Chain A
Amino acid sequence: MLSLHARKRKGNRLALSRPASLVLLLVLAFSGFFTPYVSFFIYAMNDYNSISSLAPAPDPSSFIDVNASRLYAMANWYEDNIAKYHVPHDMIVNTWFDSSTSVGNPEFYGVSYDSAEWTGHYLMAEAFRYAVCMDAGNITDATQALANITRALRGYDKILHVAPNGGMARYAWPIDDYDGPVDDNKYLGSWNGEYYIYEDDTSRDMHNGVIMGLCFTYLLVNDTTTRATVARLVEDMLDYFIERGWLYVNPEGDPNGTDLDDGFWLGGTDGLWTLAYLKVGELVNPSKYGPLYREYAIDRDYAHHSNFAALATMNTVQSYFGLLLDWELMFTLATLEADPALKALYLNHVSQMYELTKNDRTAIFNAMWLALQGIDRSNQPAGMVVVQDIEDCLMRYYNAPQRLPGRNYPVTNPGTESLKAVYWREFFTDGIGGTLYPFWEFLFKFEIVADTPLTPDRRPQTDFLWSRSPFTIGKGGTGHYEGPGVDFTVVYWLCRYYGIIEPPSDYQASIEVHYG
């Protein structure tokens, strides 16, 4: 306000002072420019993401007839291959081989960064496998599954306790095995008297995968030692977070941004996620975590704290991994919840998530949704083809070398580019968009993607298929790098357990695996 400033009278009111008028004018001018400026970018993102929302439903006539025996044989091949080549330090990794035309010999391992999450899926797969085999009286395979579970739990025990401050590492190498660079994110730790180099900056993704894996292991593996181990690991993880307000603190004493507590409605962590963690706590120690779960769900109202599932449309073409995080925890939470009202609330959220991706050919989401709805191949409503969709996805792993064995052979899908994606990409790279929004890539990448979700046989190799966008067209590769294939086994055993995929008619069926 200027000194001695005068405000003229306008009728019965005082006119705005000159500085106030100036501020108002600036605000109006800024809004007048900024509103359409922001709105246009939001429109561009929405239009781009409509590639997913407008994707057609899969055509059942294109589905490959299911061969349950082949699926079983494929699952067993993956089981053997994973145990042999992809669990070097009791955690799931990608493996680099010295040959692209034969199995060859492993040279080094990669993708340790997300290893904890994929190990969670592996653990869940083995837990379902154990339950299926025990039900079928197949003690040999059940024992093998239990051995795999014990191995993965050892890996989890290590990453949960290797850091001096109790935070969970992403991965840990025995110090003699580590020959990579020691960068800002690598630390020295110890576990069971051995020294390790461990990778930190552990994200929500890793914790979600771990808690899901531990949950289903405890739920399905009726083995006292295993359950005691899982209970101990779950309690260690939960106590760490509860003591720190659900914040992860790195070895240097700084929070790294991983916040598992409920955030605000339109951003941050869902309250439902926090509840999933506590619900697993209640599973392993009801007297300790049960009241806490109730307090969070009811008194703190976390049961109603979730982002609108529709907001996840921003993840349906790019950053697809965000959707998997939601499914991991919601599948866990909704499976464990016995209270019908709360379960209905959670299932309502799950249904909204499902609507976003039901045409995406993402078998794990479809399988989890069927399991939560209590739908299997025997009671699938007429006209619904979700069971067949899942079977088709798994069948397509066969004869697709980037899936089975899972090597990184080049994949291209010429002619599948979405015109919409091409338009927006060009608008921002060569058109006026780049000038207007020089930071566009920071906000949204507008990648060139396929116009429809691709089936697994057309998608490029990766570490965990269901975490990647089904619209990704392809990528190059040498054929030396091999993904573990847990994306197959987790869906297969889950579906077998819930009766979505039928048991094999021939348990001795064999398959051919082609390299090159």
Chain B
Amino acid sequence: MTTTVSDTRPGTFTFFTMHWGQLVAGLLLLLVGIASFIVLPGGLIYLILPLPSYIWVGLVPLVVGAVLIVRSLVMAEQVSLAWDGDVLRVEARRLWIVKASIQRDDMRYIDIRHLESKVLRWLAAFVLLLTSYEVHFKNGIDLLGHAEDAPFLLFCFAIVCAALGIFVSSPRCFLEIGTDREARFIPLPTRGRGSREIVDIARFLGFHEDTISRIACKGKMREILESNTFPITTGLAFVSIGVVLVANRSWFLGDFAVPVFILLGAKWLSDAFLGDKGLVPGGVAGEFRDYSGALVAKQLRGGTLRVERTPGITRVHPIEMACYFYLMAQALKYGFRFAFWPYLGFHAAYFLLGLIVLAVIFFKWFGLVDLHVVDFGNFSISFQVARGKDTSMPPRPWIKWYILQRAKMVATSFAVIKASKKLVWAWILFVVFMLVPILYYGLAYPPFIF
């Protein structure tokens, strides 16, 4: 990512912004798409439908790549922010010029954050990973030494993985300015840790020095790791499970287990490292109250703050929800296969893995998250606030403490279930998600046939 930042006029802040990550990912996918059409033979596999494989591994990356390239090019722009008295004037130059003016008095909040969790983004990533794994990787490995195209297939898989890595780890950074009537979104240069551009923009917009110093702080990684232990650990674990399933096909947890484990793990890591949380109250600059965290910074004016606790499931992404359902079904099917198909017997490793997957999902589902809700009268905004870690504790006692803390959270969720509709729905949904596969596997192959 390169950006050009310049202060050409007093009171004016100008920067060039382009989503380089999206452009690079798009170019890589386009390369795979075009190469697949040229090189790939007509028939490799029967996938979800008996369509020629190049439809899946050629057309899908081609379309996604083209969309990313067009988006990144169209959205490349030069943005100027200028304070004209109490009015913030914004001018964006790309193919056309767009101007906007916002009165300081109208501003309820200013938010610097990633817009990360788009459904289409993760859906596209899932389809790309699934098809590339099935067609490029599996066939490439199987045919290595036997077919001319095998190295090409593996090369394509590597390129798609690289593109996906860039794609999911480079969300766009935005400046959001909220008024009573609307919210305006201004693309920013994508942020590195303590990036000078973001610090400058925050300073220009009048963030409190405490907040700015937190944004600029080079020790953010430690804060991210400490305040996101659960998602980072489980994210890494899930990616690892996916890789193990890739490496050893004798381990099988369902047709879609590999992309689901890897994508869900990547999503949790992405949320932890790039997501919109980790906020702690910062300083107060004039009439604004600041919040800042490892990744985000908010500046709020007025409003009534209340703190809410809500089950983690209420904050999940639709793609995540679908992954949970799938993994719960697979964990039940294979972990408890001895119950559905007695002749298969008890398999300790599958059973343990099934239990772990269910436990992780359970904790993620019912683990209570702290929300700060700021009510501005006409509207309200909410954001998640991370809990810190007691860093003085050595690792082993900390793990014990951590598990206890999680268990307590779930117990708390039971205790307050009557008072929270969200919790009631969370429990209903969880039970339904558990029951559906149990009934399906229990009834689809009824005992009388054995």
Closest to A256 in B: B43
Quick one: given A255-B43, A257-B44, are A4 and B92 in contact (CB under 8 Å)? yes
Quick one: given A263-B47, A344-B450, are A249 and B143 in contact (CB under 8 Å)? yes
Which residue of the partner chain, among B47, B98, B378, B445, contacts A4 with CB atoms under 8 Å?
Answer: B98
User: Are A345 and B146 closer than 8 Å at their CB atoms?
Assistant: no
Distance of A249 Cα from B90 Cα, bound (Å) = 61
Interface residues of A (CB under 8 A from B): 1-9, 11-14, 165, 243-247, 249, 252-259, 263-269, 295, 298-301, 304, 339-342, 344-345, 347-348
User: Are B94 and A3 closer than 8 Å at their CB atoms?
Assistant: yes
Quick one: given A7-B183, A345-B445, are A254 and B149 in contact (CB under 8 Å)? yes
Which chain A residues border B143 with CB–CB below 8 Å? 244-245, 247, 249, 255
Which residue of the partner chain, among A5, A247, A249, A345, contacts B185 with CB atoms under 8 Å?
Answer: A5
Closest to B248 in A: A299
User: Are B148 and A254 closer than 8 Å at their CB atoms?
Assistant: yes
Does B344 belong to the interface (CB within 8 Å)? yes
Quick one: given A245-B141, A245-B142, A345-B445, are A267 and B98 in contact (CB under 8 Å)? no
Query: Smallest distance from the beta carbon of A141 to chain B beta carbons, Å?
Result: 40
Query: Smallest distance from the beta carbon of B345 to chain A beta carbons, Å?
Result: 9
Does B380 belong to the interface (CB within 8 Å)? yes
Closest to A13 in B: B379
Beta-carbon contacts under 8 Å, B156-210 to A: 180-187
Which residue of the partner chain, among A254, A267, A304, A344, contacts B147 with CB atoms under 8 Å?
Answer: A254
Distance of A259 Cα from B142 Cα, bound (Å) = 12
User: Are A301 and B334 closer than 8 Å at their CB atoms?
Assistant: yes
Query: Smallest distance from the beta carbon of A17 to chain B beta carbons, Å?
Result: 8
Query: Smallest distance from the beta carbon of A249 to chain B beta carbons, Å?
Result: 5
Does B323 belong to the interface (CB within 8 Å)? no
User: Are B344 and A267 closer than 8 Å at their CB atoms?
Assistant: no
Which chain B residues border A255 with CB–CB below 8 Å? 41, 43-44, 139, 143, 147, 149
Q: Besides A3-B77, A264-B46, 16 other CB < 8 A contacts?
A: A3-B92, A3-B98, A3-B187, A8-B182, A9-B182, A14-B182, A14-B183, A245-B138, A254-B41, A254-B148, A257-B44, A264-B255, A267-B48, A268-B46, A339-B343, A341-B341
Q: Can you give 30 A-B contacts (C-beta < 8 A)?
A: A1-B185, A3-B186, A4-B92, A6-B100, A6-B183, A7-B182, A8-B182, A9-B378, A244-B147, A245-B142, A246-B142, A247-B44, A247-B142, A247-B143, A249-B143, A254-B41, A255-B41, A255-B149, A257-B42, A263-B45, A264-B46, A268-B46, A268-B47, A295-B250, A301-B252, A301-B334, A339-B343, A341-B341, A348-B445, A348-B449
Closest to A15 in B: B182
Closest to B44 in A: A255
Query: Smallest distance from the beta carbon of B255 to chain A beta carbons, Å?
Result: 6
Distance of A393 Cα from B281 Cα, bound (Å) = 85
User: Are A299 and B252 closer than 8 Å at their CB atoms?
Assistant: yes
Distance of A2 Cα from B71 Cα, bound (Å) = 10
Which chain B residues border A344 with CB–CB below 8 Å? 449-450
Does B395 belong to the interface (CB within 8 Å)? no
Query: Smallest distance from the beta carbon of A282 to chain B beta carbons, Å?
Result: 17
User: Are B44 and A3 closer than 8 Å at their CB atoms?
Assistant: no
Which chain A residues border B75 with CB–CB below 8 Å? 1, 3
Distance of A252 Cα from B148 Cα, bound (Å) = 8
Does B50 belong to the interface (CB within 8 Å)? yes
Closest to B187 in A: A3
Quick one: given A3-B187, A249-B147, A254-B148, are A9 and B180 in contact (CB under 8 Å)? yes
User: Are B90 and A253 closer than 8 Å at their CB atoms?
Assistant: no
Distance of A254 Cα from B146 Cα, bound (Å) = 9
User: Are B46 and A269 closer than 8 Å at their CB atoms?
Assistant: yes
Which residue of the partner chain, among B142, B183, B250, B334, contacts A244 with CB atoms under 8 Å?
Answer: B142
Distance of A267 Cα from B45 Cα, bound (Å) = 10
Query: Smallest distance from the beta carbon of B25 to chain A beta carbons, Å?
Result: 17
Query: Smallest distance from the beta carbon of A18 to chain B beta carbons, Å?
Result: 12
User: Are B45 and A268 closer than 8 Å at their CB atoms?
Assistant: yes
Distance of A340 Cα from B450 Cα, bound (Å) = 7
User: Are A253 and B147 closer than 8 Å at their CB atoms?
Assistant: yes
Distance of A269 Cα from B341 Cα, bound (Å) = 23
Quick one: given A255-B139, A345-B449, are A6 and B45 in contact (CB under 8 Å)? no
Distance of A361 Cα from B380 Cα, bound (Å) = 71
Quick one: given A255-B147, A300-B249, are A11 and B41 in contact (CB under 8 Å)? no
Distance of A244 Cα from B150 Cα, bound (Å) = 11
Which chain B residues border A249 with CB–CB below 8 Å? 143, 146-147
User: Are B344 and A298 closer than 8 Å at their CB atoms?
Assistant: yes
By Cβ-Cβ distance, the 4 closest A-B pairs, closest first, are A257-B43, A245-B142, A268-B46, A341-B343
Query: Smallest distance from the beta carbon of B257 to chain A beta carbons, Å?
Result: 11
Does B419 belong to the interface (CB within 8 Å)? no
User: Are B41 and A259 closer than 8 Å at their CB atoms?
Assistant: no
Distance of A2 Cα from B95 Cα, bound (Å) = 11
Does B49 belong to the interface (CB within 8 Å)? yes
Which chain B residues border A267 with CB–CB below 8 Å? 46-50
Residue picked from B42, B94, B185, B255, most chain A C-beta under 10 Å: B185
Query: Smallest distance from the beta carbon of A442 to chain B beta carbons, Å?
Result: 12
* B 72-94 binary contact with A (CB < 8 Å = 1; else 0): 00010101000000000010101
Closest to B47 in A: A264
Closest to A342 in B: B343
Distance of A377 Cα from B305 Cα, bound (Å) = 84
Query: Smallest distance from the beta carbon of B276 to chain A beta carbons, Å?
Result: 15
